[in-house]
Amino acid sequence: MKKFIGFLIVLVLLFCLYTWLVLTWSYSAGERAGYVQKLSKKGWLCKTWEGELAMINMPGTLSEKFNFTVHDETVVKKINESMGKRVSLVYEEHVGIPTTCFGDTGYFVKDILIVD
């Protein structure tokens, strides 16, 4: 019985270590420009800010959508203040997140810049 409990503790610790590593190490980083179409707090148990950026490449063409997650409340405030304006989202991509409790997407927005 002690071996089983010890094995469970090791599994839980490995899961926590893996989750911490995935959330702190970014796979890629970059910027995407466009217009924020929506930003809402979603989730049954874990509430996260989820948004959608419309990236318009050429006038008259269909827009591509970029779904993202925001954790920082100051960034959420800046996004809400810039609705309707062309913006550039600074993001980090995290791959292999074990649950949607940290966000629906792997793209975590770190900052927003208004594009003139």
> How many independent structural domains does the chain possess?
1
Task: Determine the structural domain holding residue 46 and report its residue range.
Answer: 2-114
Mean pLDDT per 10-residue interval, the chain, length 116 residues: 90 94 93 94 92 84 90 96 94 92 94 92
Q: Which residues contact 93 (CB under 8 A, 6 or more apart)?
A: 26, 27, 28, 29, 30, 106, 107, 108
DSSP 46-78: S-EEEEEEEE--STTSPPEEEEEEE--HHHHHH
CATH number of the domain that residue 102 is part of: 2.40.50.140
Q: What is the pLDDT of residue 45?
A: 87
